[in-house]
Each structure stands twice: as C-alpha cells, then as structure tokens.
Amino acid sequence: MKKKLVVLSGAGISAESGIKTFRDSDGLWEGHNVMDVATPEGWRNNQELVLDFYNQRRRQLHEVQPNLGHKILAELENDFDVHIITQNVDNLHEQAGSSKVLHLHGELFKVRSIKDKNYILDWKTDLKTGDLDANGFQLRPHIVWFGEDVPALEEALAITQQADYFVIVGTSMQVYPAAGLVEFTPPNIPIYYIDPHPATIRNLSNPLEIIPMNATEGVPFLKEKLMK
C-alpha cells in the first residue's frame, strides 16, 4: 500500500507558469476589483464584464504550460498515493499528469447553468450571453465565487483526514475554508509548507517543516526528502 500524500496547492504554483494571481496586487486581479468579477453581486451587476474577464482567463490557459512543480507532483504518483486539492481553477495539474485532482474553487474549462448547479459542461472557448442550458437558462463560469458555498469541501475534508503526509504549496493560507483543511490532518503526520513567503500557521500540533522556496525549487526538494 502506498502512503497517502495529500497536497493543498494555491495560486503560487500557477503563477510560476505565468498565470496572474490577485493576492499580490492589492486585491486587483488583472486590473479588476475582485468584487466586480468574482462575486454573485458582480455577476448580477455586470454580466458582460464577468463573462469577458473569464473568457480572457480561459484564453490565457491555452497558452501556458505546467511547470516543474506541477510535473514533480505528478511524478510522485510513482511512489505515493497522491491526492491534489487545489484552490486553482486552471488545469495545469492535470496537464502535468496528476490523476487525482479536486478543484475547490471550480474550473475555468467548465461552465454551469445559473439555475441548476449540477448542469456542468466542458467549455474551452469564449462563453457569451445567449449560451444556454437545455432549459433555456444562461450558462455561467463554473467558478466558486466569494460568498458562495464550496461544494467540494466535504470530499476535501475526507481526503485530508486520511493523509500520511500533508503538503501545502504556493498558498498564502488566507482563503477559507481551504486554509482550514490543515486543521483536519491526522495527529502527528508531517506537514510540509512550500512557499517563499509562508504564512504563520497557528495552533498546529503536527510537526511542520517550512520550505521557503517557490514551487519549482521546493517541490523537487521535497521529493528528494521524501524519497530518502
């Protein structure tokens, strides 16, 4: 039986592939206030702006590649039962070859009905006003916006509770409920935190090792450590 390695990944690992994040620019994401493009209120106020914003993100995703951090995490499947829980809406983990990826905040290459949250379609091109579900309701980006429930959270908790190792990579640990997953790890399992600017994790009884590197340096370093 392979040991279960659970990875919580965030914007930092995608940033190294050229995907812009909003955590490092005063709450602006590609020049937009997050509240305008990543909330249900933003959608109601200006649907065209939101559609255009995610169309641009979707187009960008066609132009970027997984980096060494993504690739090494995929390689670790040779020796571990690797489960990736990601806050990222790109598919770079899947492109790199990871087979068990749970997206907490949705996926750029999917859309869903505004009426039926279980009506989800794969979608690689622009989404426009007038693109409808089978019942005539508008389709929206399949993204968990601020203020919305996180449907994948229960599955993420169940995976976390079975971990033999827990790895945090490229996340500021500021966005909840994702940041709270670390509190559900089994007692005494090792936790590794890879980030050049790691946050302070309080009230943690597990052994914690900080690896103050970006993902392309820190994930290979971690693999070497785990393989010893």
For residues 10 and 93, the answer to whether their CB atoms sit within 8 Å is no
Reduced to 3 states (helix: H, G, I; strand: E, B; else coil), residue 85 is strand
Residue 208 CA to residue 187 CA, distance in Å, equals 12
Residues annotated as part of the active site? 105
Cβ neighbours of 31 (radius 10 Å): 9
Please tell me the distance from the alpha carbon of residue 66 to that of residue 93, in angstroms, as a whole number. 7
User: Residue 13 CA to chain centroid, in angstroms?
Assistant: 9
Q: Do the Cβ atoms of 171 and 196 come closer than 8 Å?
A: no
Q: Write down the H helix ranges in 11-75.
A: 11-15, 34-37, 40-45, 47-61, 68-75
From 62, 59, 39, select the one nearest 50 (Cα to Cα).
39
